[in-house]
Chains A and B, each alone.
Chain A
Amino acid sequence: MIRVVLPAHLKMHANVNGEVMLAVDGPATQKSLLDALETNYPVLRGAIREQGTLKRRAFVRFFACQRDLSHDEPDAPLPDAVASGAQPFLIVGALAGG
């Protein structure tokens, strides 16, 4: 199972406490992970990726294993530690400053 940590706004919106545990069909990639997340939590459609284009929203970041994965290709494999569930995949709202 892949572990996903949502930002506070989306935990509230999806009525989630703690981490989300996801089973992904096929290779574990950003796209397959987010597809699975949106299938399990349809209210998150459009909140992480834009409707239609499925591009990452501008102020959303993906972190894991002390790395910024935000600019990785959607079909690139996730780190083994994320795919195995050893490390969580963090969905983060970009800092606003101020």
Chain B
Amino acid sequence: MKILVCITNVPDTTAKITFIDNDTKLNKAGVQFIIGPYDDYALARAVELKEKLGGSVTVLHVGGADADPQIRKALAIGADDAIRVDSDPIDSYFVASQIAHVAGQNNYDLILMGRESIDFNSGVVHGLVGEMLGIPSYSPVMKLEIEGTTATLAREIDGGKETLSASLPLVLGCQEPISEWKIPNMRGIMTARTKPLLVVEPVSVEEFTVPENFSLPAPKGACKMIPADQAETLIKLLRTEAKVI
């Protein structure tokens, strides 16, 4: 079983987001970066599958060297080796093209991703990669078992879930409860230092989208407090003032 796990390098979920350089760049000062939480689920399941079925787990990231600590963490969690495509992750199409290029040179049985990155929240890279490689893609996947060359999975659909089985290779976008996040142990951290991290140049891709600038939501007005013993006033306000009921 050869598994590729694609990870993002994103601001921690509690990070305060601000921009610099005339709102054209994320202000990284004081922001802690992490492996995307959904990618972390994908990685955890990949490591479990490897332990059960044998094979290897490769992590892949498209981005700059500032992601290397997160890539090392993925290696410490149990991936065997890593590839970093050394380029700004320009947009979903660009990132997917890089992933599809790497995947095209190695025959992975399974390409696991997060259901979405928490910076761009697109939820599209898995579909793009699947189509570029001509293989199926499913997301969000909450359960995954492999037997021989068949994957049985449960995915969330609007208001419920569905199970299906499909032949490998597949691209899957993962979410909980597919697995539990893993924390690297001391041995993992030691061995991660010497595991291979291959840095490769990007392939050229036509530029489809160009980011212009960023902005923040308008600040929220003050919260109108209603005394607990007059709770029913709330319902009146929702009808006459907010006009939502």
Indicate whether A and B interact: no
